[in-house]
Structure 1
């Protein structure tokens, strides 16, 4: 069963397709938008007698309304080697489950859905054009579950913006964000046209499940650099503190671009993501 969450946006959709979100388009909705002369909106069903009697030019006045519209929803995901980490769970499997949930939520809401995966470049073999999908896009999910990430960086994320279209979209940007904050700053700046939800995908085994004593081997999956450290309580606490600081730094930077990050650690809690949208 696909975990289901609910989302909302606080901006008006410019889209012309009917949907559930507040819109900048005029149409057959219920949100009153004002009065115009009948000649400008020839729909006598919305004739307003009071407004007509008060019009200084004696024109027939009708009520206008804003329709509800659909929005584009994307998941843009980091598929670089660091996303291949397996600890408490598999990051890639957790990502696939999250994508399934977003695709299903968009379908249930009436919005279109698209996916772009990136490592050092855009992975066109994992590109899903924006469309109305029913279900969880099984071909994409199957491909992701079989993926063994090997990309040396997530630089392809910097090239995504032109493929998101000109209409404002809700974009779930999913990564472990194990790259420099100035790079993230530049990335978010390229996506400033859109409503970006940074989804930080971590595994607690990266920083919590460390021994108090003993030799520990660390491998950077993107550079291949290996280090062997003698773990002790002070070093373990230092690693945990660095992740805590990273969490704060990510929160501070992402908030400058409109939204706090959503932390996806070990498992996806759809209720937590629903609260994220309705409490912020």
Structure 2
């Protein structure tokens, strides 16, 4: 559904961004990686590289892996060739973490607060969480194309990531489309990554499906930003302005009970369609209404991993 709705009595101007106390803003959350990382860099996730860690991988001859500190006495006694056996472990490694942010026109919708400001807080929280876990973080912003000024390569610099993402607080894009989403997967690295895709997903389902197919090498977490004022808090009777924030076009619509009910039903059907599509790709959607809360993100991983 490309059209979203603003009430006719709302002013066209933007609300001021909601500022939080530094201690409360973009608090980190706990995420889980459901695969073994092949990175050679030390981190907090199970890896495939041999080294210091808690993931036991078996025993090997001391000649091939000369570390007497890890001698396995029981396996040495059992060895028919009477060779000293040592334990092997996989090291804990890093994993690439990306926040992908929809910067198209519909993200300018302002209800409780501007959708884009919520997306900024979530993206900053992802960067903060990756930094605390010792992982690499990258950011990709797109509208009708991927935006170079809002695309950051993988790094451990939380300060740089936070500064760049914060510049989006003054970003305006009422007439921008979202065609760049199909090019966005080309900016992800080859190594399997955890990708937080932040959007309201007001785009055709085939476009979402095509993008998910292109990101099949990665684990995608779709974070769906909807606002109650888009579809629940509509006027019961009277005129309202329906605005397609992807194109900037609008038209006046007379609301009554029947029209409101149909609009609400359309949004409910859209939610079901999105949930079914994301589940096909083993990427359950996280619908976030209102402010960012880290416990919702942590709970998502507790439920899905």
Give TM-score scaled by structure 2 length: 0.88
1:100 CA displacement: 1.4
1:24 CA displacement: 1.5
Q: Does the alignment pair 1:155 with 2:155?
A: no
Residue 186 of structure 1: aligned partner = 210
Q: Equivalents in 1 of 2:291, 2:153: separation in Å?
A: 27
Q: Which piece of structure 1 moves more, 94-103 or 53-62?
A: 53-62
Q: Equivalents in 2 of 1:244, 1:136: separation in Å?
A: 39
Residue 199 of structure 1: aligned partner = 223
Residue 27 of structure 1: aligned partner = 51
CA RMSD for the aligned pairs?
A: 1.4
Q: Deviations over 1:223-252 (max 9, x none)?
A: 233221110111111111111111111111
Residue aligned with 1:65, SS: strand
Q: Which piece of structure 1 moves more, 8-17 or 145-154?
A: 145-154
Residue 254 of structure 1: aligned partner = 278
Q: Does the alignment pair 1:164 with 2:188?
A: yes
Q: For 2:260, which of 219, 230, 236 is the aligned residue?
A: 236
Q: Does the alignment pair 1:10 with 2:34?
A: yes
Give TM-score scaled by structure 1 length: 0.95
RCO higher in structure (CA 8 A, sep ≥6): 2
1:4 CA displacement: 2.5
Q: Equivalents in 2 of 1:173, 1:258: separation in Å?
A: 14
Residue 137 of structure 1: aligned partner = 161
Residue 105 of structure 1: aligned partner = 129
CA contact (8 A) 2:72 2:85 kept: yes
Q: Give the 3 Å change call, closer, same or farther, for CA 178–82 of structure 1 in structure 2.
A: same
Unmatched runs of 5 consecutive residues or more in structure 2: 1-22
Q: Which piece of structure 1 moves more, 150-159 or 231-240?
A: 150-159
Q: Give the 3 Å change call, closer, same or farther, for CA 114–27 of structure 1 in structure 2.
A: same
Q: Equivalents in 1 of 2:159, 2:232: separation in Å?
A: 35
Unmatched runs of 5 consecutive residues or more in structure 1: none
CA contact (8 A) 1:199 1:261 kept: yes
CA contact (8 A) 2:150 2:165 kept: no
Q: Deviations over 1:140-198 (max 9, x none)?
A: 13310010024532121211223211111110011111111111111100001001000
What is the count of residue pairs matched by the alignment? 280
**Which contiguous aligned blocks of 4+ residues in structure 1 show a shift greater than 6 angstroms?**
none
CA contact (8 A) 2:175 2:248 kept: no
